Amino acid sequence: MTSLIDVIFLLLLFFMLTSTFTKYGEIELMAAGQGASADTEAERLFLTLRPEGLMLNGTPVALDELRARLEAPEGADPRLLLISPAQATSSQELVDVLTLARGLPGLTPVVLR
């Protein structure tokens, strides 16, 4: 009986040591507050995330061309990107858009509910 317990313990130890532990990264979400006044000088862009694809200000846009559409000339006024994910949108799509938007200067992404 003790040999069976030893084998089980060794298997447990083996699987614990060989398994991969993944550390998930955290993403800070800036959500629109209820009744909060927005900056009136900032240009507003509206991005909708749907299972069919992305829509920027009502026009379809692919993720790879979104960066070019969001980039502003140097010295331009600050802009606000309002992101509205649909219920069926995956979290990875939202993370991809947020990562892209945070890398652009003068653009503040805000996630709507």
Q: How many domains does one find in the chain?
A: 1
Name 21's Cβ contacts closer than 8 Å, sequence gap at least 6: none
**Could you list the residue range(s) of the whole structural domain that residue 13 is in?**
2-111
Neighbours of 66 (CB within 10 A): 18
Max mean pLDDT range (35-44, 66-75, 103-112): 103-112
Q: What share of the chain is helix, strand, coil (3-state, %, to 5)?
A: 35, 25, 40
pLDDT at residue 11, rounded to an integer: 94
> What whole-number distance in Å separates Cα of residue 52 and Cα of residue 43?
26
User: What are 5-63's pLDDT values in tens digits?
Assistant: 999 999 999 998 888 777 777 666 666 655 555 555 678 999 999 988 899 998 999 98
The stretches of the chain forming alpha helices (DSSP H) are 2-18, 63-70, 91-102
Task: Give Cα 37 to chain centroid, integer Å.
Answer: 24
pLDDT at residue 8, rounded to an integer: 93
In the chain, the N- to C-terminal Cα span, in Å, equals 58
